[in-house]
Structure 1
Amino acid sequence: MLRSYLRLVLFTTGLLFGVQVPGFISDYSKRVEAHLIEAQQAIKGFNATAQQFFKGDVQALIQHYRSSEDPVFRQDANNIENLLTRTHALERQWLGLQGPWYARAWHVATKADPDIRRETYNGYTWQVLLAPDVIAWGIVCALLLALLIETLFVALAWVIHGGRRKPQIDRDWR
């Protein structure tokens, strides 16, 4: 009986952790989008200047700043390049989050920006959303956790008992 309750607790724990995955991915996506909008806003003026004087080539604007005699302009060339690099990195992050659910999950797990992922984790509040994909995540994670732990205990018992099965007691029920 206790074993059944422990299985239920294990399954419920897996379920509650599993339903957090879509919420975390959603929060991460929103943070990436907010950072991207901010970066695009910061580079907007330089893009306009590049459009006006360099046919839209921001790299030409950066080269122009670098070739200037003024040290302030030379330093600004590095700042503009940093803004441009950050904007491109955020655009790649945003594009990685536009695919199907499994691609988004894989992207957040393997290719997420570490700073934004940490920021998302630190600001994340646990939530239980009742949407079909969230419920599916919860059930799958619960089943996988339960299967993993159950397999671990069965394997451990098998090793402890030397690979032998418990002898079956023949009972005569007359």
Structure 2
Amino acid sequence: MFRSYLRLLLFTVGLLAGIQVPGLVKDYSQRVEAHMLESREALAGFQETAERFFNGDLQALLRHYRSSDDPVFNSDANSIESLMTRNQLLESEWQALQGNWVSRTWHVVAQADPQLREETLKGYSYQILLVPEAIGWGIGCGFLLALLVESLLLGIGWVILGGRRGAVKESWR
């Protein structure tokens, strides 16, 4: 009986943990999009200048600023370069999040920008999404957690008992 309750408890914990995966991916995607839009806005003025004087080439604007003897222009060149680098990072993150749910999830788990992932985790609030992918994640995680822990405990019991079957048999009723 205890084993059945443990199995149910493990499945429930895995279910609730698995349901969080799509919500976390969604929050990360929204955070990336917000930062990307902010980054584009920060570059907009420089982009307009590049359009007017350098046929839209921000790199040419940056080279122009760097070639100046004025320390203010050199400082601005550093600022522009940092904005451009940040924008490129956010654009590539956004592109990575445009795939199917498996690739988005893998990206957030294994390849996401550490700073953005940490920011997302700090601001994340647990939620229960009742969408098919959340239900799938929940059932899959619940089943795997219950299976892994029960298998581990049975393996430990088998080692301790030396491969003999215990005296108490579990009833299937």
Q: Which residue of 2 aligns with 1:108?
A: 108
Partner Cα separation in structure 2 for residue 116 and residue 24 of structure 1? 12
Q: Does 1:160 align with 2:160?
A: yes
Q: Which residue of 2 aligns with 1:39?
A: 39
Partner Cα separation in structure 2 for residue 23 and residue 168 of structure 1? 46
Q: Which residue of 2 aligns with 1:97?
A: 97
Q: 1:153 to 1:168 in 2, by over 3 A?
A: closer
Partner Cα separation in structure 2 for residue 88 and residue 166 of structure 1? 61
Instruction: Kindly report which structure 2 residues correspond to 1:15-164, keeping only aligned pairs within 5 A, or say none.
Output: 15-162=15-162, 164=163
Cα displacement (A) at 1:78: 0.8
Structure 1 unaligned blocks of 5 or more: 170-174
Number of equivalenced pairs: 168
Cα displacement (A) at 1:111: 1.0
What secondary structure does 2:56 align onto? coil
Cα deviation, 1:4-60, whole Å, max 9, x if unaligned, reads 111111100000000000000000000000000000000011111111111111111
What secondary structure does 2:27 align onto? helix
Cα displacement (A) at 1:165: 2.8
Which amino acid is the alignment partner of residue 134 of structure 2? V
What secondary structure does 1:117 align onto? helix
Which amino acid is the alignment partner of residue 53 of structure 2? F
Q: Which runs of 4+ in 1 moved over 6 A?
A: none
Cα displacement (A) at 1:167: 7.3
Cα deviation, 1:76-128, whole Å, max 9, x if unaligned, reads 10110110010000001001111111000100011111111111111111111
Partner Cα separation in structure 2 for residue 168 and residue 15 of structure 1? 33
RMSD: 1.4
Q: How many percent identity over aligned positions?
A: 57
More deviation in 153-162 or 29-38?
A: 153-162
Partner Cα separation in structure 2 for residue 116 and residue 30 of structure 1? 11
Higher Rg:
1
TM-score computed with the length of structure 1 as normaliser: 0.93
